[in-house]
Amino acid sequence: MRATILSFASVALAARPWMSQPDTGIEGQLGNITGLPDIDSLVGIPDFEWVAQRVLNISSYTYYSNGAAGEWSYRNNLEVFQRYALRPRVVVDTTGIESTLPTKILGYNFSAPFFIAPAARAGFAHPEAEANLVNGAAESNILYVPSQHGTLTMAQIGDVHKNTSQVTFQQSYPPNDNDTEAKELFKQIEDAGNKAIFLTVDSAADGNRHRAARYQVGTLPNYGPNAVPTSYTKMTWEMYRKWQNFTSLPIVPKGIQTVDDARLAVQNGAPAIYLSNHGGRQVDTSRAPLEVAIKIYQEAPEIFKQVEVYADGGVRYGADIVKLLALGVHAVGIARPFMFSNVYGVDGVKRAVEMFKHELAIDASNVGVADVHQISPDIVDWSQPTNYWYS
């Protein structure tokens, strides 16, 4: 009896597999690589992370992969999609599915209902840094939202995208409570040729990032002799309304995590809202955006009609996109996979876009969806989250 309890305990305490790296056999095929494997040998989005982990140094890989504290939110962002089972409908004509992918985002035409979410420091993966993301997005005609903290400056990124005439939106953190500074920031964003501002509202303080703190990537030492004082960001809805008057560009709050704040954003004139927990990088146990979208669907579904709703966090497969769109999300953001794909430069970015488009089309088709913009919420069983995929 005692032995049984002990062996049960040791199994229970063993680490569960890290779901960002499912076992799909890549180790067996490419396990002995010494450099970048041929891009044609990659079969899915998780393969890019597998490669990046092997070709980047540990501080660069850590910067991209890390989540806050115990990384439970990051894991949950990934795993929550598996908890909601599909209810595939059959005997539906879905042969036109690929032609339904094009999507307007804030009035601009793109080839897909997903976009490259803002992530800082693309230079950790490739010397051309953000230029690859701009050019890859342009060649694939998808939206790219560069981060304010890129390896390249906003103006340098602007020079690349003006060259491609591709529409970009700029991510920004809230400016200080100083009207001159705010106006200068928005003018820089306009001058770089952007068509909208995604204003990140989920980062009132530094992210609580243990893994990154080991290498001081994306977080600064808060303890010991080199400690840097924490900075807190001031922002109110009143400031938000004032800033909307400082620029002709729409300002979309990025990082909405509750139904209450979704309502407040709409009441304060947000032209769109962006559900995100910053990839689980700010505060651990923040809800996955899929869960927030479910809450809005249940408690305030009118919001999906009032404004465009975007969402990001843990999207790695076509079916993940299908589930968010089914709730009424208009477009889906993806960050880490594109940062990892950048180890191949522009070709990697384009291949990741192709993979997401292909999987979105076949997964939608296999659940009986004829048009990605007309997905019934009923194609997912939202009533019974389940853990039976692993236990």
Ligand X SMILES: Cc1cc2nc3c(=O)[nH]c(=O)nc-3n(C[C@H](O)[C@H](O)[C@H](O)COP(=O)(O)O)c2cc1C
| Near ligand X in 187-246, by CB under 6 A | 200
Nearest CB to ligand X, comparing residues 100 and 200: 200
Question: For tokens 């560009």, what's the residue?
Answer: 249
**Using rule CB under 6 A, residue 61 touches ligand X:** no
In order, the DSSP letters of 350-365 are HHHHHHHHHHHHHHHH
Q: Which of 60, 76, 147, 151 binds ligand X (CB under 6 A)?
A: 147
Contact in structure between 323 and 380 (CB atoms under 8 Å):
yes
Which residues, other chains included, contact 174 with Cβ-Cβ below 8 Å and sequence gap of 6+?
Answer: 199, 200, 201, 233, 234, 235, 239
**Using rule CB under 6 A, residue 278 touches ligand X:** yes
315 is in an annotated binding site: yes
Specify the 3-state DSSP secondary structure of 114. strand
Span interacting with ligand X, options 92-100, 265-273, 321-329, 330-338, rule CB under 6 A: 330-338
**Using rule CB under 6 A, residue 119 touches ligand X:** yes
Instruction: Write down the H helix ranges in the chain.
Output: 2-13, 26-30, 45-55, 58-65, 72-83, 130-140, 154-164, 179-191, 210-213, 237-244, 259-267, 289-299, 303-306, 318-327, 336-341, 346-366
Nearest CB to ligand NAG, comparing residues 293 and 343: 343
Interface mask toward ligand X for 283-312; x: CB under 6 A: -----------------------------x
User: What span, in angstroms and rounded, lies between the C-alpha atoms of 241 and 381?
Assistant: 38
Which residues, other chains included, contact 148 with Cβ-Cβ below 8 Å and sequence gap of 6+?
Answer: 118, 120, 154, 170, 171, 172, 173
**Using rule CB under 6 A, residue 109 touches ligand NAG:** yes
Q: Which of 135, 276, 286, 342 binds ligand X (CB under 6 A)?
A: 276
Specify the 3-state DSSP secondary structure of 338. helix
Q: Which of 16, 242, 358, 373 binds ligand NAG (CB under 6 A)?
A: 242
State the binding partner of 370 from ligand X, ligand NAG, none, CB within 5 to 8 A by kind.
Answer: none
Q: Which of 149, 183, 210, 295 binds ligand X (CB under 6 A)?
A: 149
Number of residues that bind ligand X (CB under 6 A): 25
| Near ligand NAG in 305-344, by CB under 6 A | none
User: What span, in angstroms and rounded, lies between the C-alpha atoms of 385 and 389?
Assistant: 11
Indicate if 210 belongs to the active site. no
Return the closest-CA partner of residue 338 out of 326, 324, 349, 350. 349
**Using rule CB under 6 A, residue 320 touches ligand X:** no
Please state the closest distance from residue 8 (CB atom) to ligand NAG, in A.
35
CA angle 287, 388, 288 (to 5 degrees): 10
Give the tokens for residue 389: 């995929």
**Using rule CB under 6 A, residue 279 touches ligand X:** yes
CA angle 26, 34, 150 (to 5 degrees): 85
Which of these is catalytic: 278, 330, 358, 373? 278
Please state the closest distance from residue 269 (CB atom) to ligand X, in A.
20
Contact in structure between 294 and 382 (CB atoms under 8 Å):
yes
User: What span, in angstroms and rounded, lies between the C-alpha atoms of 297 and 227?
Assistant: 44
Interface mask toward ligand X for 66-95; x: CB under 6 A: -----------x------------------
User: What span, in angstroms and rounded, lies between the C-alpha atoms of 277 and 237?
Assistant: 19
Please state the closest distance from residue 125 (CB atom) to ligand NAG, in A.
8
The binding site for glyoxylate consists of 63, 173, 209, 278, 281
Contact residues for ligand NAG, defined by CB under 6 A: 29-32, 57, 59-60, 109, 124, 159-160, 163, 178, 180-181, 241-242, 245
State the binding site: 63, 118-120, 147, 171, 173, 200, 209, 254, 276, 278, 281, 312-316
Which amino acids are annotated catalytic? 278
User: Which residues of this protein are in contact with ligand X, per CB under 6 A?
Assistant: 63-64, 77, 117-120, 147, 149, 171, 200, 254, 276, 278-279, 281, 312-315, 333-336, 339
